[in-house]
Chains A and B, each alone.
Chain A
Amino acid sequence: AQTVTQSQPEMSVQEAETVTLSCTYDTSESDYYLFWYKQPPSRQMILVIRQEAYKQQNATENRFSVNFQKAAKSFSLKISDSQLGDAAMYFCAYSRETSGSRLTFGEGTQLTVNP
């Protein structure tokens, strides 16, 4: 079975600075997807960024980028130029390569952005 682990229950960052959230996972599959989701207090789960395991290049989306280390089964999220609106719970998630597969989530990291 696949597992996703987030070892940082809480993180904080000053506005305009950079923060990195950590995630490790376990799988026997060679092809899969990894995700970071953001969940603000409204509870709406929002996709931040996606990484295909077969791609060596790390995904980037504006201020958000990942460091994907396939051999180490590590998948961290870097948020640059942090903004107050980035404050939320962040979940790392895994999905098998087959489209339509379930998402397996980590426990989450609560990010606080200080003005």
Chain B
Amino acid sequence: EAGVAQSPRYKIIEKRQSVAFWCNPISGHATLYWYQQILGQGPKLLIQFQNNGVVDDSQLPKDRFSAERLKGVDSTLKIQPAKLEDSAVYLCASSLGDFWGHYNEQFFGPGTRLTVL
């Protein structure tokens, strides 16, 4: 079974530029998560999708970050304009999301390391 795919693996940009990350979840997984992991810290949820609807975006800086999940499969996360403090690893995860009373494990992708200069 293929895992969660993310691209690019690395990205270096200047501040005030725009950047986009792509995530392809495990086939059949209804729930998709984007986490931000700043160096030396644990990951923090940015946004959670159930199919193509947003479940939780309470910690997403909406003035500069946006995300979409077209057709309930792939997802893109965009930052516009980027700030120095956005330098981090952006992790995508997915889970079955069937909610039938048992725990749905979250499977993580390899992440995208963003450096903002």
Contacts and interface: CB of A to CB of B under 8 A. Distances in A.
Interface of A: 4, 33, 42-47, 50, 52, 91, 93, 95, 98-100, 102-108
Contacts, number: 63
A108 B95 CA distance: 23
B108 interface: yes
Contact of B42 (A47, A50, A99, A106): A106
A108 B37 CA distance: 11
B89 A102 contact: no
Interface residues of B, number: 32
Contacts of A42: 110
B114 to A, nearest CB: 12
Interface of B: 31, 33, 35, 40-45, 48, 50, 55-56, 89, 91, 93, 95, 97-106, 108-111, 113
B101 to A, nearest CB: 7
Contact of B103 (A44, A45, A93, A99): A99
B104 A105 contact: no
10 interchain residue pairs of minimum CB distance: A105-B42, A45-B108, A102-B45, A43-B111, A99-B104, A99-B99, A100-B31, A91-B42, A105-B43, A100-B97
A6 B11 CA distance: 30
A45 B91 contact: yes
A59 B55 CA distance: 30
A107 B89 contact: no
Contact of A105 (B44, B110, B111): B44
Q: A4, A33, A100, A103 — which one has the most chain B CB atoms within 10 A of its CB?
A: A100
B110 A102 contact: no
A50 B106 CA distance: 12
Nearest to B101: A99
B42 A102 contact: no
Contact of A47 (B35, B56, B98, B105): B105
A103 B45 contact: yes
A100 B108 contact: no
B1 to A, nearest CB: 15
Contact of A44 (B44, B97, B110): B110
Contacts of A102: 33, 45, 48, 56
